[in-house]
Structure 1
Amino acid sequence: MRRNLFIGTLLLAAALLFLSTVQALRAEEKRIPKNHPVELTSPPLCTECHTTDAGVALKPMASFNHSNEFVKRHRFYAAQTDQLCRSCHALSFCMDCHAYKDELRPSVKYPDKPDRWMPHKGDYIFQHRIDGRIDPAPCFRCHGRMNNRICRTCHK
């Protein structure tokens, strides 16, 4: 009886190892490349190659549209590399949301983009000290642990 249990456990462990290996290999395929696959000499005009009816191996422009769900998850892509992002976006694009002392309401800051998802409201520089003392754990998801570089920018 014990021998059958041992063999069953061993087979289950082998199956789990196999499945996790397959999953890891599939995740490698979906990873964003570090930069554009073709060397570019100047900032690209993406629509020159990427069209909705693109043939060959080019992705259509529609595949680069960022949904609200992408905006919520973009930290995972940006953490891999910013080179690909910068093939379309200037570094100042990041600062639209990630600037430290800009307290404009999103409706004022982005009047033409009412659907833009924002994690913090306009008065959050004042409000964050209250939220951070009540429960700092949600802050860590995007901002990291306390006393990191971002916090030390203002809290010296």
Structure 2
Amino acid sequence: MDDANIPSLLALPLLGFLTSREMTYRNTRRMILDKVGNPYFLTGRAFEGIGGPHIGLQNAWPMSLLVQAMTSDDDEEIRMLIRRVKEASLLGLVHESVNVDRVRDYTRSWFAWANSVFAQTILDLAARKPHLLFGAGAKPYIIG
């Protein structure tokens, strides 16, 4: 099982343990993002993502989708994940968790940790895949 928190197995490349291209990670990632391999990968009518034992089996964390986006090289997957997080952020800020069947049912109207991971994701995409944020031909935007 994997939990939506960081650190997590899904976040291993972000933590510097290995790269997202290594076969061990690719197999682990595939297992984590599937209900068969991870009982806390939750899918519903309105949302899907990784939850955890402390929230229950109806609520997934948008943070898990952001980590999934930062560990993906697939433009379509990343677009879909960012869109899902935005659609589930009904108040303009990222919630702690969202009911997978009813996004209007969420925990914490805003969650600083999840919003920080959202900012981290946008900065990651600005540097690694700027065309997804700024359009075709955009140059990497790196702070620092």
TM-score, L = length of structure 2:
0.31
Q: Which has the higher strand share?
A: 2
Max Rg structure: 1
> TM-score scaled by structure 1?
0.29
